[in-house]
């Protein structure tokens, strides 16, 4: 039998579609504050917003008489007619946010308009108003949400830990701070200020504050018909993830068309992206998702083309594409060697060139083949070549025009990729540092930490201390001491550690994940293919490679040595 649901049941169902977790509350109420022309937005939380969430702003406020109306579903000041629904220019418009939050929490609103001498207060529990009276209030609005989902225990038990919910809220705050560089955002958690984002003045400066200035940020803008877009890219060195933050007319969304266009460029899109698209309100439908996280474009083909072309322009600025789309390399003429003869990297006293005798790899060990994914460190075993023995005075032949090293061995000719070999050496140096125990290397001058990293550092303070990082207020004062000659940026080490901790929650596996990421970073310091080597440099590199536990592949799975056996040579020459 079909029957009409009770209003209390239907309101909770509707609220559950709009409000999924504390970060949903943060998003909806922050959007209201931005629509209200607030210049300062402050959030206070306890237990990641699960037990208490407060937002304060200095926007236009709500009049005392309209406070009860603000809690009613589909009551809004944003639109009035059906035509308004076709050209929405505000972040909120349906009048569902406050009513949805009120239906699943104990909520209090204090607000005062600029033209009023006194403000008002309204309290409700589970959607039922329990108090409405005049009260002295600051200009703007203060909303307090306690005991979220107290009347929906099934939803409440699916919430994550307090730290996990806090990270989601911080993500929302950081994202909206990017496209609202004229606003101030502050976040307090359990009585401590963990984030303060003062107005940087521009999106570019906001991104530099969030992403840091250790790596270059690439950007480009394009217009097509009445649409315009600006895209920023931060190609994180050791990342194999593509994180795309999308804003359309100031609204944060997820869109497969835009993501496909960014990832469909002419190069790997690994790293962090910000896409800010401006399009006429009448050309998009924002009323297709309960939480307003999706939109539908009237001309999605134009949007795809616009994003794709802009992404290609960014790749061109980074990789210097030629007119036919091919990537330009920095190859020199094979007969012009003077420009590439650099030996400054070679230092006989460097531990990389230790004269410690080579200890052969155990006969039982297995040699990995190249693997397709650099993230996978489990290799398929292959047949093991004969042991390589090196005679410094006889075996080194020379270097090819391309830069590969050639050695004459008793069992054949070995061709070595010096870049891949050096990557393996640096990788194992850092890995060995972690195996021997982690010590702290104090920085001569503490470094200012990007504001966006401070909340994560506070959340993972114990793990960071275990990894030998040292902090002085908002500055990085010490990092793990690593073996080898790699010149890792302290902030790159910090970012790699935070990403490793976030990816691997198991304490027993976490440290391995962190050092593996740092070791991968060290590969950037490896000598480049094409650099000219002296004989002693080549021999020293080969000896150090022989001492590695896995000398036959680089950390990414590429081979370091190619051996042409004497028997194969004899067969080729019909000997």
Q: How far apart are CA 430 and CA 231, in angstroms?
A: 36
Token output for 304: 């795809």
Please give the average per-residue pLDDT across 480-501, as a whole number: 76
SS3 for 247? strand
Confidence of residue 514 (pLDDT cuts 50, 70, 90): confident
Whether the CB-CB separation of 127 and 150 falls below 8 Å is answered with no
Token output for 485: 């000659």
Whether 159 shows a pLDDT value over 80: the answer reads yes
- Tell which wins on pLDDT, 473 or 220: 220
The bridge status of strand 242-248 relative to strand 251-253 is antiparallel
Whether 307 shows a pLDDT value over 90: the answer reads yes
Q: Which letter does DSSP use for residue 557 in this model?
A: S
Q: How far apart are CA 139 and CA 145, in angstroms?
A: 19
- Tell which wins on pLDDT, 345 or 254: 254
How confident is the model at residue 547, as a pLDDT? Answer: 87
How confident is the model at residue 486, as a pLDDT? Answer: 53
Whether 349 shows a pLDDT value over 50: the answer reads no
Whether 6 shows a pLDDT value over 60: the answer reads yes
Whether 22 shows a pLDDT value over 70: the answer reads yes
Whether 554 shows a pLDDT value over 80: the answer reads yes
Whether 379 shows a pLDDT value over 50: the answer reads no
Q: Which residues pair with 133 in a beta bridge?
A: 121
**Look-up: residue for tokens 């990092």?**
479
Please give the average per-residue pLDDT across 536-556, as a whole number: 86
How confident is the model at residue 245, as a pLDDT? Answer: 94
How confident is the model at residue 320, as a pLDDT? Answer: 54
* Packing angle, helices 22-35 and 162-179, rounded to 10: 20
Sign of CA dihedral 498, 499, 503, 508: negative
Whether 357 shows a pLDDT value over 60: the answer reads no
Domain boundaries, given as residue ranges, for the chain: 7-199, 204-319, 332-575
Whether 368 shows a pLDDT value over 70: the answer reads no
Q: How far apart are CA 87 and CA 5, in angstroms?
A: 33
Residue 340 burial (CB < 10 Å; 0-12/13-18/19+)?
Answer: middle
As a CATH number, domain 7-199 is 3.30.565.10
Q: Which letter does DSSP use for residue 494 in this model?
A: H
pLDDT above 70: percentage of residues in the chain: 82
Token output for 121: 């207060």
Whether 240 shows a pLDDT value over 50: the answer reads yes
- CATH topology for the 204-319 domain: Ribosomal Protein S5; domain 2 (3.30.230)
Determine if residue 553 is left, alpha or beta; phi over 0 gives left, psi from -120 to 50 gives alpha, anything else beta: beta
List, in sequence order, the alpha helices (H) in 212-299: 256-263
* Listed residue (363, 419, 378, 412) closest to 559, CA to CA: 419
Q: How far apart are CA 159 and CA 498, in angstroms?
A: 23
Q: What angle do CA 365, 371, 375 make, to 5 degrees?
A: 100
pLDDT above 90: percentage of residues in the chain: 38
Query: Model's pTM, two decimal places?
Result: 0.67
Among 247-251, 306-310, 376-380, 442-446, the minimum mean pLDDT is found in 376-380
How confident is the model at residue 522, as a pLDDT? Answer: 64
Q: How far apart are CA 536 and CA 142, in angstroms?
A: 71
SS3 for 140? strand
Q: What is the 3-state secondary structure (H, E, C) of 327-351?
A: ECCCCCCCCCCHHHCCCCCCCCCCH
Biggest alpha carbon distance in the chain?
A: 104
Superfamily of domain 332-575: MutL, C-terminal domain, dimerisation subdomain (3.30.1540.20)
Q: What is the 3-state secondary structure (H, E, C) of 438-488?
A: CCEEEEEEEEECCHHHHHHHHHCHHHHHHCCCEEECCEEEEEECCCCCCCC
Token output for 167: 């990270």
The bridge status of strand 119-125 relative to strand 218-224 is unpaired
Q: Encode pLDDT of 95-129 as tens digits.
A: 888 999 999 999 999 999 988 888 999 999 998 99
**Look-up: residue for tokens 């680089």?**
554
Confidence of residue 465 (pLDDT cuts 50, 70, 90): confident
Whether the CB-CB separation of 23 and 168 falls below 8 Å is answered with yes
* Listed residue (421, 474, 413, 464) closest to 440, CA to CA: 464
In angstroms, what CA-CA distances link 163 with 19, 21, 27, 48, 189? 19, 13, 18, 6, 10
Whether 140 shows a pLDDT value over 90: the answer reads yes
Q: Which letter does DSSP use for residue 105 in this model?
A: S
Q: How far apart are CA 199 and CA 43, in angstroms?
A: 16
Q: How far apart are CA 469 and CA 451, in angstroms?
A: 17
Q: How far apart are CA 422 and CA 542, in angstroms?
A: 9
**Look-up: residue for tokens 């901790």?**
501
């Amino acid at each position: 039998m079909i029957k009409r649901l009770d209003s209390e049941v239907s309101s909770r169902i509707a609220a559950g579609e709009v409000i999924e977790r504390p970060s949903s509350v943060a998003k909806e109420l922050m959007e209201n504050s931005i629509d209200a022309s607030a210049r300062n937005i402050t959030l206070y939380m306890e237990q990641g917003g699960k037990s208490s969430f407060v937002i304060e702003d200095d926007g236009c406020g709500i009049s005392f008489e309209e406070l009860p109306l603000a809690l009613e579903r589909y009551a809004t000041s944003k639109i009035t007619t059906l035509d308004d629904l076709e050209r929405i220019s505000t972040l909120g418009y349906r009048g569902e946010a406050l009513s949805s939050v009120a239906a699943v929490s104990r909520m209090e609103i204090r607000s005062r308009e600029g033209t009023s001498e006194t403000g008002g207060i309204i309290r409700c529990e589970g959607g039922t108003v329990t108090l409405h009276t005049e009260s002295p209030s600051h200009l703007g609005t203060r909303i307090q949400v306690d005991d979220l989902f107290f009347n929906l225990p099934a939803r409440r038990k699916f919430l994550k830990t307090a730290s996990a919910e806090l990270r989601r809220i911080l993500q929302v705050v950081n994202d909206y701070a990017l496209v609202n560089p004229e606003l101030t955002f502050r976040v307090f958690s359990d009585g401590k200020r963990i984030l303060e984002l003062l107005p940087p003045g521009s999106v570019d400066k906001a991104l530099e504050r969030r992403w840091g200035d250790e790596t270059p940020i690439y950007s480009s803008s394009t217009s097509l018909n009445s649409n315009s877009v600006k895209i920023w890219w931060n190609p994180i060195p050791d990342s194999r993830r593509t994180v795309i933050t999308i804003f359309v007319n100031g609204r944060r969304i997820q869109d497969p068309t835009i993501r496909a266009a960014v990832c469909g460029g002419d190069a790997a899109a690994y790293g962090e992206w910000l896409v800010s698209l401006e399009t006429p309100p009448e050309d998009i439908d924002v009323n297709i998702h309960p939480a307003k996280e999706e939109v539908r474009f009237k001309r999605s083909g134009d949007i795809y083309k616009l994003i794709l072309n802009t992404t290609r322009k960014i790749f061109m600025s980074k990789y210097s594409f030629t007119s036919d789309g091919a990537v330009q390399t920095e190859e020199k003429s094979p007969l012009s060697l003077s420009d590439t003869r650099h030996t400054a990297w070679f230092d006989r006293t460097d531990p990389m060139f230790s004269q410690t005798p080579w200890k052969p790899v155990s006969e039982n060990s297995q040699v990995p083949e190249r693997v397709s994914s650099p993230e996978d460190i489990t290799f398929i075993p292959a047949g093991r070549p004969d042991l390589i023995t090196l005679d410094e005075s006889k075996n080194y032949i020379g270097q090819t025009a391309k830069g590969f090293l050639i050695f004459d061995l008793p069992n054949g000719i070995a061709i070595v990729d010096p870049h891949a070999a050096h990557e393996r050496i640096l990788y194992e140096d850092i890995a060995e540092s972690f195996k021997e125990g982690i010590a702290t290397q104090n920085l001569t001058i503490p470094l200012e930490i990007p504001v966006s990293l401070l909340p994560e550092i506070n959340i993972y303070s114990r793990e960071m201390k275990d990894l030998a990082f040292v902090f002085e207020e908002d500055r990085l004062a010490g990092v793990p001491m690593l073996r080898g000659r790699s010149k890792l940026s302290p902030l790159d080490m910090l970012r790699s550690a935070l990403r490793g901790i976030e990816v691997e929650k198991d304490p027993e596996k976490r440290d391995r994940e962190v050092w593996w990421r740092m070791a991968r970073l060290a590969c950037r310091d490896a000598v480049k293919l094409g650099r000219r080597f002296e004989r002693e440099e080549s021999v020293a590199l080969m000896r150090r490679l022989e001492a590695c536990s896995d000398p036959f592949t680089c950390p990414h799975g590429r081979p370091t040595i190619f051996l042409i056996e004497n028997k194969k040579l004899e067969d080729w020459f019909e000997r």
